Amino acid sequence: MLIENSHLDTDFVVRILHLEDSLADHKLVVLTLRRAGMACTFAQVDTLEAFDSQLASGAFDIVLADYRLPGFTALDAWQAAVAQPEPVPFILLSGAIGEAAAVDAMRLGIADYVLKDDMARLPHVIARAREMHQAQLARKLAARELADSQQRLAALTEHLQSSIEQERAAIAREIHDDIGGALTAIRFDLAWVARHSTQASVREHTQAATAMLQHALGASQRIMMNLRPPILDQGLVAAIEWLAENFERRTGLHTQVCSSAPHIPVTDAIQLVAYRTVQEALTNVSKYAQATSVHIDLTHSEGVLTLEVADNGCGTSASALAKPKAFGIKGLRERARTVDGWLDISSQPGQGTSVIVSIPLPSLAAPAQGVLP
């Protein structure tokens, strides 16, 4: 192995591993790069074993390789080079390779090739290969940082969703235990006053107060149902059916629920994501769809829960769905990701909209048999 330095006054030195069995050709490479003003260090090797050993050190920025060497070719060296954790640019430098073979080599991923009788191109080829390599490294780094950011965002979203649901449940309990209890006690007191009062004006005021109180009780119950519906304790299918019944009663839109089983065992987190997805989808239908019917399909097969909410409304365009704040879609997707699920929305103007959420189920959730109408 021959190690050489090309000493020049520059801020950066290119470390070159040269696979070449001709000392004269190696000297020509050194001279060419020195004349071009490129500061380099060289390690020349002429066997595959020495090449592998030097490459494993990770001490090189670029590889120059003759195509044919005793007992092997540059393609054998290339296989060793791409197996490294961080492969460096690999350039063929040969007088024995034809253009067709060189093109085939580049299709494999080799950075470039230079014919030995056109050595003047070498500095430019090395500079270009390094620029492309640095750009590729920058893209990989950006992709890793983006993936890390997305992972942190997903974890934060999951934490926020969990915190929101916990706070909702706590508020619902407070409304039920404190406000609900107090309103119920007042209703009993008003009823006692109405029974024992002999004054017509008092009874009239009592009736008016009772009516207002009943309205407040109804409002508190609706708020509790929105915050943390007790129907969830009866299971996912029952909760979805309850949502559909209330939606149909409130909007007058025909709403049908079909389930692959009367009971689908899921975790609390999955149940809540599915419930909130249907809730948001139905809200969007009532606001935007101009539909006359809604179909909700709930199935679980091959370890995946699939929930679809489809309407026969006016639909929307792909560009409208792509808007950042379109119909709460971003929130639905983020919610689905908290349980490793994914959301798909398909819609076309005049052909309705379909919202589908798919969620992997834990292995303990064994399928049940039966169909609900």
Alpha carbon 3 to its chain's center: 48
pTM, entire model = 0.51
Domain ranges of the chain: 2-139, 157-227, 230-360
Q: What confidence tens digit (pLDDT) does each residue in 124-177 have?
A: 999 998 899 889 889 989 999 998 888 888 778 777 767 776 777 677 677 767
Residue 319 has pLDDT above 80, yes or no: no
Please name the CATH architecture into which domain 2-139 falls.
Answer: 3-Layer(aba) Sandwich (3.40)
Q: What confidence tens digit (pLDDT) does each residue in 284-298 have?
A: 999 999 999 999 999
Backbone angle region of 290, left / alpha / beta, with phi > 0 → left and psi within -120 to 50 → alpha? left
Q: Which residue has the tokens 């008092």?
A: 202
Which class is domain 230-360?
A: alpha beta
Q: What percent of the chain has pLDDT over 90?
A: 37
Query: CA torsion 66→70→74→75, rounded to 10°?
Result: 160
Q: Rounded to whole angstroms, how far apart are CA atoms 294 and 248? A: 9
